[in-house]
Amino acid sequence: MSEQKTVLIVEDEKNIVDILRFNLMREGYRTLEAYDGEDGLNKARSENPDLILLDVMLPKMIGFDVCRTLRQEGNNVPVIILTAREEEADKVLGLEIGADDYITKPFSMRELIARVGANIRRSAMISASSAETSMPVSGDLSINTDSHQVYRAGKAIDLTQREYELLTFLASHPNKVYSRVDLMEQVWNYGYVGDDVRTVDVTVRRLREKIERDPANPVYILTRRGAGYYFSV
Ligand code: CA
């Protein structure tokens, strides 16, 4: 690793923190730890980590509130939520409040390290790739790729980082249909996807709610039944 990256671990179970710290350090990461939500939020603000591993059930402030607060403050640090169980509601809520990813406990360390790496690389790629300024898009939708701002009829639309990436990816390949597995690989940078393709559906639904006039009858991001999603022009 050319430049050492810092991972902030926000988790109240000390044995999990110890295992995470050990494995992340072995992979060349610097780690910071916080054992409650308030301290996690403070360290996220003051230490500027490259990624946050965020437990949900935490003393003082739950993980969802930590993530929501950071996003409200305009902080786009990649956040991976650590969910205690395979709970659909937790995953959906996590993605809706702007988390980039989630991983279910008990997790395989190999999987977690892969996700940490993928999310840090993706975030670095985005900050480096602001060469193109404006993307031709459909109807009254426009994207400024310098400011990462999306407009509909001249009105700014507030998207999460992931929603923005999904939209720009699809819009830059108009009318090409991508399966959910394709999108997991291209937009989420995952080699292994398993049943996580549901993440794509949730993100598409959120995106439609924001960019479409009538989310139930979308005109931009369309579904090709049994095949996937595409940006229609
Ligand atoms: Ca906990």
Residues 37/10, Cβ–Cβ less than 8 Å:
yes
199: exposed, middle or buried (Cβ count in 10 Å: 0-12, 13-18, 19+)? buried
Across the range 27-37, mean pLDDT stands at: 96
Confidence at 192, pLDDT banded by 50, 70, 90: low
Question: Which residue ranges make up each domain of the chain?
Answer: 6-128, 134-231
What share of the chain has pLDDT > 90, as a percent? 51
pTM of the model as a whole: 0.61
Query: How many A from CA of 222 to the centre of ligand 1?
Result: 39
Check for a shared fold between 6-128 and 134-231.
no
Q: Is it true that the peptide bond before 215 is cis, omega within 30 degrees of 0?
A: no
Query: How many A from CA of 14 to the centre of ligand 1?
Result: 10
Across the range 192-201, mean pLDDT stands at: 74
b/e sequence 127-157, b meaning 16+ C-beta within 10 Å = eeeeeeeeeebeeebbbebeebebebeeeeb
Query: How many A from CA of 161 to the centre of ligand 1?
Result: 26
**Six token digits for residue 140:** 């009254």
pLDDT of residue 228: 95
Across the range 81-97, mean pLDDT stands at: 74
Contacts of residue 142, defined as CB under 8 A and 6 or more positions apart, other chains included, come to: 134, 135, 150, 151, 152
Q: How far is CA 41 from the centre of its chain?
A: 18
Which of 49, 82, 50 has the alpha carbon at shortest distance from 64? 82
In this predicted structure, the answer to whether residue 198 has a pLDDT above a threshold of 60 is yes
pLDDT of residue 217: 93
In this predicted structure, the answer to whether residue 224 has a pLDDT above a threshold of 80 is yes
In this predicted structure, the answer to whether residue 9 has a pLDDT above a threshold of 70 is yes
Residues surrounding ion ligand 1 at CB below 5 Å: 12, 55, 57
Query: How many A from CA of 13 to the centre of ligand 1?
Result: 6
Considering Cα of 115, then 19, then 59, then 4, what sign does the dihedral take?
negative
Query: How many A from CA of 130 to the centre of ligand 1?
Result: 38
Query: How many A from CA of 58 to the centre of ligand 1?
Result: 5
In this predicted structure, the answer to whether residue 147 has a pLDDT above a threshold of 80 is no
Ranking 43-47, 140-144, 202-206, 216-220 by mean pLDDT, the lowest is 140-144
Residues 162/200, Cβ–Cβ less than 8 Å:
no
Query: How many A from CA of 163 to the centre of ligand 1?
Result: 28
For domain 6-128, say whether CATH 3.40.50.2300 is its number.
yes
Across the range 209-233, mean pLDDT stands at: 92
Query: How many A from CA of 66 to the centre of ligand 1?
Result: 13
Query: How many A from CA of 141 to the centre of ligand 1?
Result: 42
Q: Do strands 155-157 and 6-10 pair parallel, antiparallel, or not at all (unpaired)?
A: unpaired
pLDDT of residue 130: 44
Query: How many A from CA of 65 to the centre of ligand 1?
Result: 14
What share of the chain has pLDDT > 70, as a percent? 88
CATH code, 134-231: 1.10.10.10
Query: How many A from CA of 7 to the centre of ligand 1?
Result: 18
